[in-house]
């Protein structure tokens, strides 16, 4: 068994525990905001807020997988929205919101314009095959534009995303004992509490590792848990990306680094290779230079933001609290709210009341 001389970003055991605690607090806070948002929307208070404040600015929505049920078991649940729910959301956006392409939005921002409230951009991360097979036909039926951000080395390999690989190991495991000494993991996965803590620790570690370190850790987990089922191919290859842009011209393709590594943790030359190399890959494979970039996991640093600009990317999406995008927004770190999991969330988050009405009641 590998010894793993360090944890993901050189963190100590106490730091890893703190990260897990912070993640749990963020999840609880997010759930509280969702309940508050639903209450504001259905009570009519959100409409009152819009009438009073008259907010402006676009909202950029983020999706990942919209896989059909036959492969759903192989996808980490937070990354998937069922096709039926996705179609309901697109029907609502088509009827009740003004959906524009990311290129159109950035052009407006560059011209000093702030879009009206109710303006929405649709984006996808990670290059899931179902974006071509499921999402694109739905979007075409409503004439809705969208942007797909691809991690180009994953497309080279048509490789399953690490979060889905970890999910498969846990969901289809034969063995229940998992030991990763460097991460302070010695867990009986048949016990729900131990399983939850172990999985969260692994998720944090995998997110922050380099690509090679991530592969090593995943191999160790797979060897120990011996999952009984192989994953189907979940990621596009380049032929499929090319088919997407040719068959569905309203679908733009942007970059998501090469190996989907955390560009807040990894900087310097490794980050430069991920950012500039991603642009080169897109130019080589689909004949399009750098336009729109997505920071993996939304994580960025001033250094890596500068690298995105130097590599010629026109815009980027990344973590931030200013979800309404207007002329004063930094086009290299445009924020996106999490995937709306229900129609109520979608209605509220794409209304003019989000997120200002939440701030009004102290939930900003």
Both tokens of 317, joined, read 């999406």
The pLDDT of residue 48 = 84
The pLDDT of residue 185 = 97
Report helix angle 268-286 to 238-247, nearest 10. Answer: 60
What is the DSSP track for 236-259?
A: --HHHHHHHHHH-TTEEEEE--SS
The pLDDT of residue 8 = 37
Both tokens of 356, joined, read 């200002």
Average pLDDT over the chain, rounded to an integer: 91
Query: Is cis: bond before 355, omega within 30 of 0?
Result: yes
The pLDDT of residue 5 = 38
The superfamily (CATH) of domain 57-159+234-360 is Glycoside hydrolase/deacetylase (3.20.20.370)
Residue found under tokens 């159109």: 104
**Can you list the alpha helix ranges (DSSP code H) found in 111-230?**
129-130, 136-141, 152-157, 162-171, 192-208, 211-225
Q: What is the mean pLDDT of each run of 10 residues along the chain (364 residues)?
A: 40 48 51 77 80 91 97 97 98 98 98 97 98 98 98 98 98 98 97 96 97 98 97 98 97 98 97 98 95 97 98 97 94 94 93 84 71
The pLDDT of residue 12 = 42
Tell me where in the chain the CATH 3.20.20.370 domain(s) lie.
57-159+234-360
Supply angle C-alpha 164, 167, 171, rounded to 5.
140
Cα dihedral 187, 188, 190, 191 sign: negative
118 C-beta neighbours (distance < 10 Å), count: 19
What is the DSSP track for 289-355?
A: ---EEE-GGG---HHHHHHHHHTT-SEEE---S--SB-TTS-TTSB--PPPP-SHHHHHHHTSTTTT
């Amino acid at each position: 068994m590998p010894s793993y001389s360090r944890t993901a970003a050189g963190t100590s055991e106490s730091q890893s525990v703190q990260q897990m605690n912070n993640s749990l607090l963020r999840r609880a806070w997010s759930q509280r905001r969702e309940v508050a948002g639903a209450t504001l929307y259905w009570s009519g208070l959100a409409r009152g807020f819009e009438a009073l404040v008259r907010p402006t600015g676009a909202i950029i929505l983020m999706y990942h997988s919209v896989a059909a049920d036959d492969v759903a078991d192989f996808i980490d649940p937070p990354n998937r929205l069922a096709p039926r729910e996705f179609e309901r959301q697109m029907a609502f956006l088509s009827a009740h919101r003004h959906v524009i392409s990311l290129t159109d939005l950035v052009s407006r921002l560059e011209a000093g314009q702030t879009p009206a409230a109710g303006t929405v951009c649709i984006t996808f991360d990670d290059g899931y095959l179902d974006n071509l097979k499921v999402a694109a036909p739905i979007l075409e039926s409503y004439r809705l534009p969208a942007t797909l951000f691809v991690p180009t080395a994953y497309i080279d390999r048509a490789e399953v995303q690490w979060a889905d690989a970890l999910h498969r190991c846990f969901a289809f495991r034969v063995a229940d004992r998992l030991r990763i000494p460097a991460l302070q993991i010695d867990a009986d996965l048949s016990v729900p509490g131990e399983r939850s803590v172990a999985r969260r620790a692994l998720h944090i570690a995998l997110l922050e590792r380099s690509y090679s370190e991530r592969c090593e850790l995943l191999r160790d987990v797979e060897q120990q848990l011996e999952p009984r089922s192989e994953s189907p191919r979940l990621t596009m290859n380049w032929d499929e990306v090319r088919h997407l842009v040719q068959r569905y011209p309203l679908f733009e393709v942007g970059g998501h680094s090469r190996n989907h590594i955390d560009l807040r943790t990894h900087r310097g030359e490794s980050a430069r290779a991920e950012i500039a190399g991603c642009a080169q890959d897109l130019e080589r494979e689909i004949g399009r230079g750098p336009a729109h970039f997505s920071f993996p996991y939304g994580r960025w640093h001033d250094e890596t933001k500068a690298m995105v600009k130097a590599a010629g990317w026109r815009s980027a999406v990344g973590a931030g609290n200013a979800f309404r995008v207007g002329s004063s927004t930094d086009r290299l770190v445009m924020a996106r709210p999490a995937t709306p999991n229900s129609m109520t969330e979608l209605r509220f988050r794409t209304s003019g009341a989000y997120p200002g009405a939440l701030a009004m009641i102290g939930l900003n």
